[in-house]
């Protein structure tokens, strides 16, 4: 499966916000001790999975001090866990009104908008979160994944590159830099970035998969096979590794063609695509149809 490439200008920096009248903000130093205690208990209950108990604690804190943006943000997180989108959105928006320089409710509201397929609104909120906290890799990662969902591959690549600059020793960042280069067909650069990711964490199956994909595109088939098999050895549910192994073994020009091996790998990839399509393919229906067609073709040829 060739990686989809869309050439477009890098996203422009968001415009400077217009002057606004900021409501009175509350900082932790101004929070009453008993209110802070309720807030802390709410977070503890949230982390324990007691979401109704967490709501009760955040309600108690906000009843005593309504202008408490951190409590609103966490209550929004809790409503989100309970699938109460309307209340979660309202809490995030109120937290933002109270504290315009608070990046977390922008990020959390963006994630909620993304879950509701409002990709444009999500990107706008991620832009503001990044403006407020430009050195936090998580924000670029969230925006990059939203760009991928909206097929803005150049912008996604730029965000993945930025993560690599901010956190060069983070194996996830290096692997994301590898993905960025693959999206832009920079296969040697992608291979090098994945090698850096593997040097930091040699048990990262995604890094081996992506380096295998880069080697496949560079027609270095033995190296690709070694990396893809390593990815599967670490994580037997690494669907893309089976997919690309199938492509190599299906190709008569790879020097290692093996139709039976291609069938086995395509069948494994197809099973995983059907099991968790959203995790493995940007266009899962097309990928599944493509695999089914190749399998039928290979099995027909084997019977002749």
pLDDT at 25: 43
Tell me if 294 is assigned to some domain.
yes
pLDDT of residue 179: 85
Is 286 within a domain? yes
**How many domains would you assign to the chain?**
1
Residue 191 is assigned to a structural domain of this protein: no
CATH number, domain at 262?
1.20.58
> pLDDT means per 10 residues in the chain (304 residues)?
31 34 45 93 97 97 95 97 97 96 97 96 98 96 92 88 86 84 91 93 95 97 98 94 94 91 91 73 68 84 69
Whether 288 maps to a domain, the answer reads yes
- In a domain? residue 289: yes
pTM exceeds 0.75:
no
Residue-level pLDDT at 18: 35
3-state SS of the chain is: CCCCCCCCCCCCCCCCCCCCCCCCCCCHHHCCHHHHHHHHHHHHHHHCCCHHHHHHHHHHHHHHCCCCHHHHHHHHHHHHHCCCHHHHHHHHHHHHHHCCCCHHHHHHHHHHHHHCCCHHHHHHHHHHHHHHCCCCHHHHHHHHHHHHHCCCHHHHHHHHHHHHHHCCCCHHHHHHHHHHHHHCCCHHHHHHHHHHHHHHCCCCHHHHHHHHHHHHHCCCHHHHHHHHHHHHHHCCCCHHHHHHHHHHHHCCCCCCCCHHHHHHHHHHHHHHHHHCHHHHCCCHHHHHHHHHHHHHHHHHHHHC
Residue 105: inside a domain: no
pLDDT of residue 244: 95
Q: 264 lies in a domain?
A: yes
Domain that holds residue 286: 236-304
Is 293 inside any structural domain?
yes
């Amino acid at each position: 499966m060739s990686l989809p490439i869309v050439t477009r200008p890098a996203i422009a920096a968001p415009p400077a916000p217009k002057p606004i009248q900021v409501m009175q903000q509350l900082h932790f130093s101004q929070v009453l001790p008993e209110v802070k205690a309720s807030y802390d208990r709410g977070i503890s209950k949230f982390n324990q999975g007691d979401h109704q108990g967490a709501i009760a604690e955040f309600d108690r804190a906000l009843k005593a001090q309504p202008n408490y943006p951190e409590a609103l943000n966490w209550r929004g997180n809790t409503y989100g866990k309970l699938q109460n989108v309307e209340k979660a959105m309202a809490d995030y928006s109120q937290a933002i009104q109270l504290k315009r320089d608070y990046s977390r409710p922008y990020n959390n509201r963006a994630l909620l908008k993304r879950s509701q397929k409002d990709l444009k609104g999500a990107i706008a909120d991620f832009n503001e979160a990044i403006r407020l906290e430009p050195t936090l890799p998580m924000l670029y990662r969230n925006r990059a994944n939203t760009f991928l969902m909206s097929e803005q591959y150049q912008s996604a690549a730029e965000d993945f590159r930025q993560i690599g600059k901010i956190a060069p020793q983070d194996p996830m960042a290096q692997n994301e830099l590898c993905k960025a280069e693959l999206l832009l067909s920079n296969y040697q650069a992608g291979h090098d970035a994945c090698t850096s990711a593997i040097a930091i964490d040699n048990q990262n199956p995604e890094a081996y998969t992506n380096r295998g994909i880069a080697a496949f595109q560079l027609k270095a088939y033995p190296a690709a096979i070694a990396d893809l098999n390593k990815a599967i050895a670490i994580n037997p549910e690494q669907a893309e590794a089976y997919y690309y192994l199938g492509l190599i073994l299906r190709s008569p020009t790879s020097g290692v063609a093996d139709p039976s091996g291609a069938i086995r790998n395509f069948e494994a990839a197809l099973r995983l695509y059907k099991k968790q399509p959203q995790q493995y393919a940007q266009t899962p229906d097309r990928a599944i149809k493509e695999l089914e067609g190749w399998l039928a073709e290979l099995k027909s040829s084997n019977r002749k």
